[in-house]
Amino acid sequence: MTSTFLGMPHAPRGVGQLRGDEPFPAAAHKALADRQLRRNLGHATATIRGKRARAVAELADWEQLRQAGEAIKAATMARLDEHLLSLEAAVTARGGHVHWARDAVEANRIVTDLVRATGATEVVKVKSMATQEIGLNEALAAAGITAVETDLAELIVQLGHDKPSHILVPAIHRNRTEIRDIFLRHMPGVDPDLTDEPRRLAMAARAHLRAKFLTAKVAVSGANFAVAETGTVTVVESEGNGRMCLTLPDTLITVMGIEKVVPTWTDLEVFLQLLPRSSTGERMNPYTSTWTGVTAGDGPQEFHLVLLDNGRTAVLADSAGRSALHCIRCSACLNVCPVYERTGGHAYGSVYPGPIGAILSPQLTGIEDNASLPYASSLCGACYDVCPVRIDIPSILVHLRGEHVEARERGLLPSAEGLAMAVAAWAMAAPRRFRFAERLLRLGRLLGRSGRIRRLPPPLSAWTAARDLPAPPAQTFRQWWRTRPGDGTR
C-alpha cells in the first residue's frame, strides 16, 4: 500500500529544506569537480569510520543492541498514537505545553508566535535537524527574530551563509583554513591574528557565543528522544552549547518529529549505547541532558514541546518504506557511503543527505519531488551494515526506484529507458531486423576511444552522463561464430 492511496499529505513545497534546486546527478557533477571538497570529505569520513569501528568493536553485544533498537522503533511506530498521547500527558502534568504541527508552515507559525509572546528578538539554538527541515531560521527572520546557531559547525555554516552538508558535522565540507577565513570575515570582534589551529578556532567560537548564552531569554532545540511514559526529553551533544541553551534561558521551545518518541525510560539504555558509538565513535558523547517538563528553580520555567508531522505520517503509511522513520540521526551511513564520500551532502539537496536522506527525503516530500535520490546509491549495502537500528536502506532504495518508475508510467511522457526497451523489443522480434541492428551497432566504434564511449547523443546521454559505455566489439557474436576455424558445417 502506498501513501498516495491513503492520501497522507507530504511535506509542503515552498518551505523548509527537503528539496534541492536541481536533481542529484547535476548537483553531484559540480561537487565532483571540487577537488578541495573531495579532499576534505575523504579525510573526515575516513577518520570517523575508523573511530566508529573501534568504538563498536568494544561491545560484545553490539548486534543484540541493534536488534533491540530496531524492535523498539518498530514497536513504537505500531502504536505511535498512544505513545504521543502518553508523552503529551506526562509533559503537561509536569508543567510543559505541547503543540501539534501538521507541517512545516504550522510548526514555524507556532514557534514564531511563542517567541513573539516573550518579546524576545533573538533566540539561541541547539543544532536540530527538525528545525532545519522546516526552515525555522528563515521563518523567524521574516518575523524580525534572529536565530543564533550555537553548535560550532552550525555557526560556521551560518556565518558563511552556507548550507549544512552532514547530519552530525554540518561543516564537514570545510577545512580549518576555510573556517578561519569565514571567522575572520564574518565573526564580529574576532582576533585578526586568528590562526587555523582547531583549538584557537573553537576558542573564538566560545568567546563569540558566551555573552549570548548568559543573556539569552529564549532557546530553541530539537530532541534526540522523548520518553512517552515519563515525558522526559533528551538532547545528546558534545560542546556544552546544548546545556547552555537548555539550562540558562527562561523559555525553551523544543521541536521534535513525532517519530522521536520512545515508549519507556529503559529504552534509552539501548539508544544511549547505539547513538554515540555510531555517531562520533565515542563510548559516550560529552553531554547528554534530560528534562521532564519544568523544574522549579532549575532551568527554563516555560517549556514548549512542538510535535511535528511534516510528511512523517506519509512515510508511516508505506509499510515497505516506513522504517526510514527509525533513524536516530547518527550519520554512520553517510560516513561509509562511497557516493556520499565523493559528492558530499549538498548534492542531495535536502537537510538529510547520504543513504538515509536518499530514502527519507523522497518519502517526506513524495517521490516526484526527489525522484533522483533513490538512484544516488550503488546499493553496496555498507549503510545497512553500520545502521545502529538496522534500517534496510538498500531495499527501501529499490522500493522507491520502483515507485518512481510506476509514477512515471502513470505520466504521459515515455522515459528514454522505456523508449530504448521498446525499440530493442521490436528489433529482436525478427532475425533480419536484429542483423541490421548489429550492423548499426558497429558504427558505435566510431564514438569510442580506447574501448570506451564517454558521451552519447540525447536521449542516450542520460546513460553516459554517469558512466562510460564499452565500445561495441569489431565483430558481432554471429560473425565470429561463422568464422570459427574448423567449423564449416553451417
Partner 1 sequence: MSARDEILNRIRTANGPTPAAVPIPRDYATTGAYATGAPELLDLLADRLHDYRAAVHRCTPDELAATLAELTRGWRVAVPEPLTVPGAVPDRPTLSHADLDGVDAVLTGCAAACADTGTIVLDAGAGQGRRALTLIPDRHVCVIHAEQVVQTVPELLRRLDPSRPLTLISGPSATSDIELDRVEGVHGPRTLIVVIVDGGVPAGPIVSTGSRG
Q: Which of residues 242-301 bind partner 1 (CB under 8 A)?
A: 243-244, 246-248, 258, 265-266, 268-270, 272-273, 280, 282-292, 295, 297-299
Nearer residue to partner 1 within complex by CB, 303 or 352: 303
The residues in 147-176 that bind partner 1, with binding defined as CB under 8 A, are 150-153, 156, 169, 171-172, 175-176
The residues in 431-470 that bind partner 1, with binding defined as CB under 8 A, are none
Query: Could you tell me if 322 and 315 are in contact, meaning their C-beta atoms sit under 8 angstroms apart?
Result: yes
Q: Tell whether residue 221 is a contact of partner 1 (CB under 8 A).
A: no
State the minimum distance, in angstroms, from the CB of residue 478 to partner 1: 55
- Alpha helices by DSSP H, 58-165: 62-78, 80-93, 104-118, 129-133, 136-142, 152-159
Q: Which three cell numbers stand for residue 136?
A: 525555522
Q: Tell whether residue 227 is a contact of partner 1 (CB under 8 A).
A: yes
Among residues 240, 381, 444, 448, which is the contact residue for partner 1, using CB under 8 A?
Answer: 240
Query: Could you tell me if 127 and 155 are in contact, meaning their C-beta atoms sit under 8 angstroms apart?
Result: no
Among residues 11, 18, 56, 68, which is the contact residue for partner 1, using CB under 8 A?
Answer: 68
Distance CA 244, CA 150 (A): 9
Q: Tell whether residue 428 is a contact of partner 1 (CB under 8 A).
A: no
Q: Which stretch binds partner 1 (CB under 8 A): 26-34, 128-136, 209-217, 466-474?
A: 209-217
State the minimum distance, in angstroms, from the CB of residue 281 to partner 1: 9
Nearer residue to partner 1 within complex by CB, 135 or 242: 242
Q: Which stretch binds partner 1 (CB under 8 A): 128-136, 141-149, 308-316, 383-391?
A: 308-316
Distance of CA 442 to CAs 115, 439, 456, 463, Å? 69, 5, 14, 19
Q: Tell whether residue 60 is a contact of partner 1 (CB under 8 A).
A: yes
Among residues 13, 54, 210, 482, which is the contact residue for partner 1, using CB under 8 A?
Answer: 210
Nearer residue to partner 1 within complex by CB, 293 or 472: 293
Distance CA 229, CA 87 (A): 6
State the minimum distance, in angstroms, from the CB of residue 197 to partner 1: 9
Distance CA 184, CA 176 (A): 12
Q: Tell whether residue 361 is a contact of partner 1 (CB under 8 A).
A: no
Residues 426-461, buried b or exposed e (16+ Cβ, 10 A)? Answer: ebeeeeeeeeeebeeeeeeeebeeeeebeeeeeeee
Nearer residue to partner 1 within complex by CB, 85 or 421: 85
Q: Tell whether residue 421 is a contact of partner 1 (CB under 8 A).
A: no
- Phi and psi at 247, nearest 5°, equal -110, -45
- 489's enclosing H/E stretch is none
State the minimum distance, in angstroms, from the CB of residue 40 to partner 1: 7
Q: Tell me the chain's radius of gyration from C-alpha atoms.
A: 26
What single letter denotes the amino acid at residue 426? W
DSSP secondary structure string for all residues of 397-438: HHHHHHHHHHHHHHSSSPPHHHHHHHHHHHHHTSHHHHHHHH
The C-alpha torsion from 262 through 264 and 266 to 269, rounded to 10°, is 10
Among residues 309, 341, 392, 403, which is the contact residue for partner 1, using CB under 8 A?
Answer: 309
Q: Tell whether residue 317 is a contact of partner 1 (CB under 8 A).
A: yes
State the minimum distance, in angstroms, from the CB of residue 138 to partner 1: 21
Query: Could you tell me if 355 and 193 are in contact, meaning their C-beta atoms sit under 8 angstroms apart?
Result: no
Among residues 18, 27, 48, 453, which is the contact residue for partner 1, using CB under 8 A?
Answer: 48
State the minimum distance, in angstroms, from the CB of residue 250 to partner 1: 12
State the minimum distance, in angstroms, from the CB of residue 242 to partner 1: 9
State the minimum distance, in angstroms, from the CB of residue 416 to partner 1: 35
The DSSP bridge partners found for residue 149 are 125
State the minimum distance, in angstroms, from the CB of residue 380 to partner 1: 23
CB contact set of 302 (below 8 Å; sequence gap of 6+): 118, 250, 251, 252, 294
- Phi and psi at 283, nearest 5°, equal -65, -40
The residues in 74-133 that bind partner 1, with binding defined as CB under 8 A, are 74-75, 77-81, 84-85, 94, 99-102, 106
The residues in 6-45 that bind partner 1, with binding defined as CB under 8 A, are 6, 8, 40, 43-44
**Binding footprint of partner 1, residue count (CB under 8 A):** 97
DSSP secondary structure string for all residues of 339-383: HHHHH-SGGG-SSS-HHHHHHHHHHHH-GGGSTTGGGS-----HH
State the minimum distance, in angstroms, from the CB of residue 243 to partner 1: 5
Q: Which three cell numbers stand for residue 180?
A: 578561519
